[in-house]
Amino acid sequence: MQDRIFNYSSFFSKFPVINLENFILRDLSLSDNQRYFEVLSDPNVAQFLSDEDVPESPYKALEEIKFWGSLFYKKQSIFWAIVEKETNNLIGTVGFNSWNFSSQRAEMSYDLASTHWRRNIMSEVLFHVLTFAFTKMCINRIEAKTMTHNVASAALLLKMGFKKEGVLKSYRKVRSKFIDVDLYSLLREEWSAAKNKGIA
């Protein structure tokens, strides 16, 4: 998609819902706050999050939902809730923390309830989100950061075609300790090559 024909106002006119076989990527709702709190405060998940990303209470979770949910309506970026199709129950989130329009670059993050790990769910989610980003958002480069000890997340990014660019020393503070973070990137042409290899 050429930048000169991309219409940002049109893109932000209606929140894009993505339907998967068993899950839906939809707009975050204020009613998701309890589940959002439960998912991100789970020690299994929280161990891979910075201190500021772990809500201390359902109220704090509500404030975070307001922030992430507002990105689309402020025409800044987009963040989805990952919910079960049958129950509308939130099991995680995925989206772009930032979107640099002029450089056609975005930073992606994602979280998933530990009860749903090892079921190939995030692989399916990322496949559709990345496809959406490169075909609907006029993005050329996507970045993702993961803690160096988060082996599962690193493996997922590599599976999706990302390449490790380097290590960001003492980048995040987790439980009063500074943690190194690995930086990964994926370019549009690399994504096309990865899809041709049948990653999904």
Per-position DSSP letters for 63-98, written without gaps between them: HHHHHHHHHHHTTS--EEEEEETTT--EEEEEEEEE
pLDDT value of position 2 = 45
- Compute the distance between CA of residue 14 and CA of residue 93 in angstroms, rounded to an integer: 19
- Compute the distance between CA of residue 38 and CA of residue 21 in angstroms, rounded to an integer: 24
5 CB neighbour count, 10 Å cutoff? 7
- Compute the distance between CA of residue 200 and CA of residue 196 in angstroms, rounded to an integer: 10
Tell me the pTM. 0.93
Each residue's pLDDT, cut to its tens digit, for the chain (200 residues) gives 444 568 888 999 999 999 999 999 999 999 999 999 999 999 999 999 988 899 999 999 999 999 999 999 999 999 999 999 999 999 999 999 999 999 999 999 999 999 999 999 999 999 999 999 999 999 999 999 999 999 999 999 999 999 999 999 999 888 888 999 999 999 999 998 887 776 65
Angle between helices 33-41 and 58-73 (to 10 degrees): 110
Domain housing 132: 3-196
How many angstroms separate the Cα of 116 from the Cα of each of 56, 92, 126? 22, 9, 15
Q: Which two tokens stand for residue 87?
A: 């129950």
- Compute the distance between CA of residue 132 and CA of residue 139 in angstroms, rounded to an integer: 10
Q: Are 123 and 159 in contact (CB under 8 A)?
A: yes
The count of domains in the chain is 1
Q: How far is CA 14 from the centre of its chain?
A: 19
- Compute the distance between CA of residue 165 and CA of residue 4 in angstroms, rounded to an integer: 29
Phi, psi of 47 (to 5 degrees): -60, -20
pLDDT value of position 162 = 97
Could you tell me the CATH number of the domain that includes residue 141?
3.40.630.30
State the Rg of the chain over Cα.
16
pLDDT value of position 87 = 96
